[in-house]
Structure 1
């Protein structure tokens, strides 16, 4: 998680984009786990 501190040196715009990308990746992984536990809700 030390690489996250590297974003502090970048502009706030790229910092927000990086945080958004991490949030989207976490959300997609959570949705994937829910889809695996509840395969009936997918279709």
Structure 2
């Protein structure tokens, strides 16, 4: 239900517009990375 707390191995779904995808990815996976489309 909506009131259940998150537990290990739960999956989250993030919906984002293309203009903020890189910022969201940087927030969730900090460190060195190549932005999407520049691979």
Does TM-score exceed 0.5, indicating one fold? no
Structure number with larger C-alpha Rg = 1
- Bigger relative contact order, structure 1 or 2 (CA pairs below 8 A, ≥6 apart): 2
TM-score (norm 2): 0.29
TM-score (norm 1): 0.28
Could you say which structure has the higher helix fraction? 1
